[in-house]
Chain A
Amino acid sequence: MAKHEHTAPPSDPALRVKALESLLLEKGLIDAKALDEIIDTYENKVGPRNGAAVVARAWVDADYKKRLLDDATAAIAELGFSGVQGEDMVVVENLPGLHNIVVCTLCSCYPWPTLGLPPVWYKAAPYRSRAVSDPRGVLDEFGVSLADDVEIRVWDSNAELRYLVLPERPDGTDGMSEDELAAMVTRDSMIGTGVIQAPK
Chain B
Amino acid sequence: MTETLPIDQFPELPRDDQGPVFSEPWQAEAFAMTVTLHKAGHFEWSEWVDYISAEISTGTPPDENDHNAIYYRQWLSALERLVADKGLSSPPELMHRKDAWRRAYEHTPHGEPVELVRAEQG
What chain B residues lie within 8 Å of A129 (beta carbons)?
113
**Most B C-beta atoms less than 10 A away, residue of A8, A13, A112, A159:** A13
What chain A residues lie within 8 Å of B32 (beta carbons)?
35, 38-39, 42
A111 to B23, CA, bound (A): 13
Q: Which residue of A lies closest to B2 (CB)?
A: A41
A34 sits at the interface (CB 8 A): yes
A107 to B20, CA, bound (A): 24
A21 to B116, CA, bound (A): 13
What chain A residues lie within 8 Å of B107 (beta carbons)?
6
A41 to B105, CA, bound (A): 29
What chain A residues lie within 8 Å of B88 (beta carbons)?
24, 27, 29
Chain A proximity mask over B87-122: 1 for CB below 8 Å, otherwise 0: 011000110011011100111111111111000000
Cβ contact within 8 Å between B36 and A38: yes
From A7, A17, A41, A110, B109 is in contact (CB under 8 Å) with A7
From A5, A35, A125, B115 is in contact (CB under 8 Å) with A125
Cβ contact within 8 Å between A13 and B22: no
Q: Which residue of A lies closest to B89 (CB)?
A: A23
A70 sits at the interface (CB 8 A): no
Contact surface of B with A, Cβ cutoff 8 Å: 1-2, 18-26, 28-33, 35-37, 39-40, 42, 69, 72-73, 76, 79-80, 83, 88-89, 93-94, 97-98, 100-102, 105-116
A-B interface, 7 closest residue pairs, ranked by CB to CB distance from nearest: A19-B97, A9-B105, A38-B32, A19-B98, A14-B26, A5-B109, A17-B26
In the complex, 7 of the A-B residue pairs with CB atoms within 8 angstroms, ordered by the A residue number, are A9-B105, A17-B76, A20-B30, A21-B33, A30-B36, A30-B37, A38-B36
